[in-house]
Structure 1
Amino acid sequence: MASSQTRIEEEVTGFSPARSETRPVRKRRRLTKLLLLVLAALLAYTAFDLLAPRASRMRSFDPSEVARLETGMWRSYYDKRQLRLYNQMTELLRSQYNLPFLRSNTVAYQAARAAFVFKGGHNRQEYEKALPYLISFYTSIRKVSDIPFDIDRAARLELQWWIIHRERDRHQSGDLARALAGLQSELYQLPAERFAEHARLRADAMTIRDTKADDGGVTEADWPRIDELLHASWQSLFNVVNN
């Protein structure tokens, strides 16, 4: 009799305890399926971003944009603004090296880490602690580059000009420019003398920053001249590799 009464109440009210209990279960199952689909999509995107083949035409860059970003990165580096430097590097890698979002972040980390490890060094042995990060950085660039440069040599040439610049009092005035030209020679597989103008202009920009810093600090009035030299430097490099 009670069972019949219950069925009658269910028919009248449309309420069933059994059906009521299954609704939350079904809702949880749908939510779980949705979360799994989102997770699968994220994993697929991550794999594609980090592992899918990419190609970068090393000669096809915007010299004005590279100069703008380099000026900004110099300011961030010397102001010890690591996060800003990191963001500027990711922008450079995405816009000029055709790296996707996640990959640009992992590669930028290697570059920024190398810079600040080097910054904390006081002698060659300590400076060379930055080398593994530079090798990792150039390994990533080589994977997308259309020019077959030597990864280890490029990393060591990068570190070499950093050291010459840091220890400039121990070097002749032309050493920094020669080191800068040597790096581009390796990256573009062209004779170093073809990059003499690019290297000289870039070295001149560094000299202004260094001299002003030694004299009490770089002012806002100094940065436009530094930026102007860097624009001329990267334009010169662009002209060399595209002619």
Structure 2
Amino acid sequence: MNSPAPVSNIPRRPRLSQRLGRITLLAFLLWIVIDLVVPTKHDIRQFDARTVATIETAMWRSYYERKPVLLFWQLASGLRQQFHTRFWRSFRLGYQATKSAFIFKQGKTRADYQRALPELISYYESIHSLSTNSFDVHKVAALELDWWIIHRQRERYSYANLANALAATAAAQYNLPVAPFQTYARLRANAMRMRDDSVLKPGGTTEADWTVIEQALDQAWGALHEAVQPNRQ
């Protein structure tokens, strides 16, 4: 007969890697929950204008080249730069903004465009909850949609109309008079004109065009940053 195999008296070692994995996962989930749930407020007047201009240029390219996933990622990055949004919350806001932009893009009439308004309201409600600066959410969302429509319907409106709408939107968002935002609005509307005109050229918008557009946006956001500083009030 075969003798029974000896029983090992060596204790089993705890699976350290599994414990570390569980701890890491719990810490990761806790980070997400805190990021999404715990409120943090910042002064939305403080941002790096050049970085915002660079991100907006990239966002324009993604929008016009129909790249919603890339636009979503860029929007989230822009939100973290301009509004100091936390990492995971920036993706929730980015989703709201991307969804409203592509609902609008698919529209043909003003009634179609109005379908983007609920998402815009949700987006600005989220911005308002993060800001130490109060503003009328519904008013800002409606004005945002107005300038989108003015820009879309260029056969009916001028770039001067667009600049006025941009100035009104910024004034409402920062709860200030319109006058300080005229320079910002003119420069940003001019950047939009550059992009629109470049499409009509053979070959469309070139890298050189995008460089010039980014320079114009850099000046525009610099003007807005200057306009909202407390020492200018």
- TM-score, normalisation: structure 2: 0.88
When the two structures are aligned, how many residues end up with a matched partner?
A: 229
Alignment match of 2:148 (pick from 162, 167, 171): 162
Identical aligned pairs, as a percentage? 42
Structure-1 residue corresponding to 2:70: 84
Residues 16-74 of structure 1, C-alpha deviation per residue, up to 9 Å, x if partnerless? 8xx99xx7xx979x95x777655543442222010111112111100111111111111
Structure with bigger helix share is 1
| Residue 69 (1) aligns with residue 67 (2) | no
Q: What's the secondary structure of 1:168's corresponding residue?
A: coil
- Cα distance, 1:39–1:225 mapped onto 2, change above 3 Å: closer
The question of whether the paired residues in 1 share the 8 Å contact of 2:97 and 2:119 is answered with yes
Structure-1 residue corresponding to 2:226: 239
- TM-score, normalisation: structure 1: 0.85
Structure-2 residue corresponding to 1:3: none
| Residue 223 (1) aligns with residue 210 (2) | yes
Structure-1 residue corresponding to 2:84: 98
After superposition, residues 1-243 of structure 1 pair within 5 angstroms as: 13-15=6-8, 37=23, 40-216=26-202, 217-242=204-229, 243=232
Residues 66-110 of structure 1, C-alpha deviation per residue, up to 9 Å, x if partnerless? 111111111111011112111111111122222122111111011
Residues 113-151 of structure 1, C-alpha deviation per residue, up to 9 Å, x if partnerless? 111111110011111111111111111110111110111
Structure 2 distance, partners of 1:163, 1:169, is 11
5+ residue gaps, structure 2 = none
Which of 170-179 and 116-125 deviates more? 170-179
Q: Radius of gyration: which is bigger? A: 1
Structure 1 distance, partners of 2:182, 2:82, is 22
C-alpha deviation, 1:232, in angstroms: 0.7
Structure 2 counterpart of 1:228, which letter? Q
5+ residue gaps, structure 1 = 1-5
C-alpha deviation, 1:183, in angstroms: 0.6
Residues 183-217 of structure 1, C-alpha deviation per residue, up to 9 Å, x if partnerless? 10011111112100100000011011112213442
